[in-house]
Amino acid sequence: MINVVILGCGSITDWRHGPECRDSDKVNLVGFWNRTYETAKKFAEKFGGRAYESYDEVLADKGVDAIIVTTNNATHMDMTVRALESGKHVLCEKPLAVTAEEAEKMIEASRKTGKLLLTAFNQRLDPAHVALKRVIDEKTLGRVLSFETSFVTAGPEGWSANKTPATWFFNKDSAGMGAVGDLGVHKADLMSYLLGERFRSVYAAVRTLDKKGPDGDPIQIEDNGYAILESESGITGSLHASWVCYGRGGSQTVIHFESGTAVTDGAKLTLYHRDGKVTEVEITDKARVLCDVLAESVEKGVPEISGEDGLWALKTAVAAIKSSATSSKIDI
Ligand SMILES: NC(=O)c1ccc[n+]([C@@H]2O[C@H](COP(=O)([O-])OP(=O)(O)OC[C@H]3O[C@@H](n4cnc5c(N)ncnc54)[C@H](O)[C@@H]3O)[C@@H](O)[C@H]2O)c1
């Protein structure tokens, strides 16, 4: 059992980390910090634990083993480095930071302090993704040839605590990147994890197609991106990340193998065999949750989903944006 404090009381804490920590038998939810104390108090009343008045108070609390960072992207680096330096393990939301340099500082702080840094890539834990990893590793359909992966939504202003164009997600200084940094990193990590290798290059078209900020002008970060990725062993695939899919959003991965095609949304996995047979894979795995992964990683002394994983996905997103800006293929 580890003692955990959650930093940031917005949508993802309300929807995932609050309930998951409350219900976990591997984690003791000690409390919450938010930049507004009243919100932290509301979350403590809802999920248990106490509200902290300041972040310094959290850092000084020797009873806290680990911190879950769920504040806006631009604050991840500072929050995480301070937590690691005060002797606490960290599970940080994605994107790990707003630049690769910041993510490297976080990894360096983890190395120096010996405290673990994990990135919140929850898609790896989806039961159908776990089953798909088995299909790949056991070569059920043979060798992987190519893939198409997408994570497309109607945008964060329908999701975040501030449901207006003034959301921090639309502000370059607070978010760093748009849809590619927000959703693309999930899929870059998922594909890299499933294939068991990193991507070596990317070619992308990244645009701002529709989103407007509070002033009515187009936002300064991308709301849509398409990327062609090539892995170390030469597997190629497409990645679509978008905030402007208003009618039918979702998360989907299609993998083409020598002997067929696998299609999943993370919950269901269908195999289309080369001979025409279609089979549904029985999903037997129970969904694991991030706070349990954090607790198990602390117990083993090794981060299951590491800071390096967060850095690689971030580098892929940054390279996609650079590729689009320069109309050239970029090495990651
Ligand atoms: N893993 C996932 O699937 C997933 C899903 C949604 C969000 N996220 C990530 O979680 C983080 C929070 O997203 P959200 O959807 O909960 O956003 P939100 O807008 O609902 O909440 C943002 C939180 O950040 C805090 N915050 C904003 N600016 C701050 C500042 N300058 N200093 C300190 N705190 C500040 C707010 O008080 C609030 O607690 C983001 O990094 C986001 O990318 C991950």
Instruction: Dihedral sign for Cα 43, 85, 313, 132, please.
Output: negative
Q: Is 72 in the pocket of ligand 1 (CB under 6 A)?
A: yes
Instruction: Name the pLDDT band for 238 (thresholds 50, 70, 90).
Output: very high
For residue 222, what pLDDT is reported?
98
Q: Is 11 in the pocket of ligand 1 (CB under 6 A)?
A: yes
For residue 212, what pLDDT is reported?
97
Report if pTM > 0.85: yes
For residue 237, what pLDDT is reported?
98
For residue 236, what pLDDT is reported?
97
State phi, psi for 24 to the nearest 5 degrees: -80, 145
What would the pLDDT profile of 168-199 be if each residue is shown by its tens digit? 999 999 999 999 999 999 999 999 999 999 99
What would the pLDDT profile of 193-220 be if each residue is shown by its tens digit? 999 999 999 999 999 999 999 999 999 9
For residue 206, what pLDDT is reported?
98
d(CA 295, CA 68): 11
For residue 45, what pLDDT is reported?
98
For residue 18, what pLDDT is reported?
98
For residue 286, what pLDDT is reported?
83
Q: Is 125 helix (H, G, I), strand (E, B) or coil?
A: helix
Instruction: Name the pLDDT band for 284 (thresholds 50, 70, 90).
Output: confident
Is it the case that residue 285 has pLDDT exceeding 90? Answer: no
What is the whole-number distance in angstroms between the Cα of residue 176 and the centre of ligand 1? Answer: 13
- Proportion of the chain in helix, strand, coil states, percent, rounded to 5: 40, 25, 35
d(CA 70, CA 83): 13
Ligand 1: which atom is nearest the Cα of residue 121? 1
Ligand 1: which atom is nearest the Cα of residue 161? 20
For residue 187, what pLDDT is reported?
98
First CA to last CA across the chain, in angstroms? 38
Which of 72, 90, 126, 152, when mutated, tests ligand 1's pocket best, judged by the most ligand atoms within 8 Å of its CB? Answer: 72
Q: Do 321 and 204 contact (CB within 8 A), yes or no?
A: yes
What would the pLDDT profile of 83-134 be if each residue is shown by its tens digit? 999 999 999 999 999 999 999 999 999 999 999 999 999 999 999 999 999 9
Q: For residue 138, give the nearest of 271, 234, 268, 264 by alpha carbon.
A: 271
What is the whole-number distance in angstroms between the Cα of residue 278 and the centre of ligand 1? Answer: 40
Which of 6, 12, 78, when mutated, tests ligand 1's pocket best, judged by the most ligand atoms within 8 Å of its CB? Answer: 12
Percentage of the chain lying above the pLDDT 90 cut? 98
Domains with residue ranges and CATH for the chain: 2-122 (3.40.50.720), 123-289+313-331 (3.30.360.10)
Q: Is 8 in the pocket of ligand 1 (CB under 6 A)?
A: yes
30-to-4, 55, 63, 65 alpha-carbon distances in Å: 6, 14, 9, 10
State which amino acid sits at residue 289.
V
The mean pLDDT of the chain is 97
How does DSSP classify residue 281?
P
What is the whole-number distance in angstroms between the Cα of residue 24 and the centre of ligand 1? Answer: 22
For residue 315, what pLDDT is reported?
98
Let me know how many helices (H) and strands (E) the chain has, helices first.
12, 15
Sequence-distant (≥ 6) Cβ neighbours of residue 241 within 8 angstroms: 150, 151, 152, 179, 180, 182, 183, 184, 187, 224, 225, 227
For residue 234, what pLDDT is reported?
95
d(CA 1, CA 128): 28
Instruction: For strands 66-69 and 260-264, give the pairing.
Output: unpaired
Report, as an integer, the average pLDDT of 251-257. 98
Give the full edge-to-edge strand order of the sheet including 2-7: 50-51, 27-33, 2-7, 66-69, 89-92, 117-119
Q: Is 123 in the pocket of ligand 1 (CB under 6 A)?
A: no
For residue 287, what pLDDT is reported?
87
Ligand 1: which atom is nearest the Cα of residue 8? 39
For residue 242, what pLDDT is reported?
98
d(CA 84, CA 110): 6
Q: Is 252 in the pocket of ligand 1 (CB under 6 A)?
A: no
Percentage of the chain lying above the pLDDT 70 cut? 100
What is the whole-number distance in angstroms between the Cα of residue 27 and the centre of ligand 1? Answer: 21
